[in-house]
Amino acid sequence: MESTRTDIFSPLKTSSSKIRDQSSHSRSCRNSKPSITSVEGNPYSVPKKQNIRIMTVNCRSIKDKSQELTLAIDYLKPDVICGTESWLKGIKPGKNPSHDAIKSSEVFPPNFNVYRNDRGTLGGGVFILVEKSIVSEERTDLITNCEIEWVKMKTDKNKDMLISSFYMPQRNKKDLDELSISLEKASVSTSKKNIILAGDFNCPDIERNNMSIKNGNDRDIQQQLIIDIANSSGLSQIHDQPTRGDNLLDLVFTANPSFIKSSVSVPGISDHAIVITDLETKPHYQKNSKQKNIYLLKSKLGKLESVIKKSGK
C-alpha cells in the first residue's frame, strides 16, 4: 500500500505506541487452529478484499469522528460495520426516534443502511451499518436488555446470516445474562453456523488460543462467564491481536471458524484498534431499480408479444 496513505485516519488516537507501530497481523482460519501470518511494514495493511468484510470499531463518540469513519470506510472497504460506543441518542430498535434524536444522516455515510441501539444517556450505544446494495434487515426480536444490535443479511445462494454488535461497558452479570438470552433467540432463528458476534467486551484476561483466563486469574467471574456463554452457544473467538494497549478487548465470535478467512487489526479512530474480518462467503446483492425496470419491461413485452401472436391466429 502507498506510504502516503498511512495517515488516513489522522489524527490517530491509539493509546499505545505498540498499536501505532505494530505490524498488522492476519489469522487464516481455514482450520480450527490456523497459523498467524504477519504482514510486515505498514500497520494499515489488510488482505485484498474478495468476499464479505466486517469492520469492528470502537468510536468513543462517532458524532465527533464522522470524517475519520468515512476515511476508514473508503480505505478499508467494509460491507458491514459493527460499532460500539457511538455516544448517540434518540434511536432505539423498533421504536420511533425521539424528538431530539441525532439523525443517522448527520453522522454516517449515505451508502449504508443504519441500524442503531442508542443508550440514551452519556456514552455507550451500538450500531450496525450494512452497505445498501446488500439485502439486510434489523432483527428487533433478538434484542434484549443490554447494549446489543442484530441484523440479518443475505449471503450468496440467498442464505441468511445474523450479525450482532455488542458492548459491555463494565463487566457485570446482568449484561451477560441478557447476551446469553439474545444468543439463544438467535440460535433458534437461524443456523448457529451463520452467526457473527462482534464488539467491545472489556475483558482483557481472556486467552484467545484456549479460551481460558490469563494466569488462572479468578478475580473476575464475568470473564469466565463470557467463556461459558461462548461454549454453550458453540461460539469460537477468532481474533487474537491486541486492540487497546496490550489488551484484547474487541472480540469476534463465530460458530464456524472455517467461515472466517482472516482477521486483521489496524489503527482505529479511538484508543482501540479497528478489527477487519474477512469471510469466505459473498454477499447477496439487491437488484437495483434500473435492473428491475428492465426485467419488468422485458416481461411485459414478452406477454404482449404472446397476446399478439394468439390474436393473429
Domain extents for the chain?
8-282, 288-313
- Does domain 8-282 sit in CATH 3.60.10.10? yes
The confidence score (pLDDT) of residue 193 equals: 79
The confidence score (pLDDT) of residue 232 equals: 94
Select from 70, 111, 59, 120 the least CA-distant residue to 250. 59
Specify whether the CB–CB gap between 81 and 106 falls below 8 A.
no
Residue 301 β-bridge partners: none
Please name the helix (run of DSSP H) or strand (run of DSSP E) that holds residue 301, with its range, or none. helix 289-312
The confidence score (pLDDT) of residue 190 equals: 80
The confidence score (pLDDT) of residue 246 equals: 85
pLDDT 10s digits, 173-193:
999 999 999 999 999 988 777
- 3-state SS string over 78-116? CCEEEEECCCCCCCCCCCCCCCCCCCHHHCCCCCEEEEE
The confidence score (pLDDT) of residue 207 equals: 79
Residues of the chain with pLDDT under 50: 1-8, 10-40, 289, 291-293, 295
Determine the angle formed by the axes of helices 221-232 and 173-189, rounding to 10 degrees.
10
User: Could you tell me the pTM of the whole model?
Assistant: 0.80
The confidence score (pLDDT) of residue 267 equals: 92
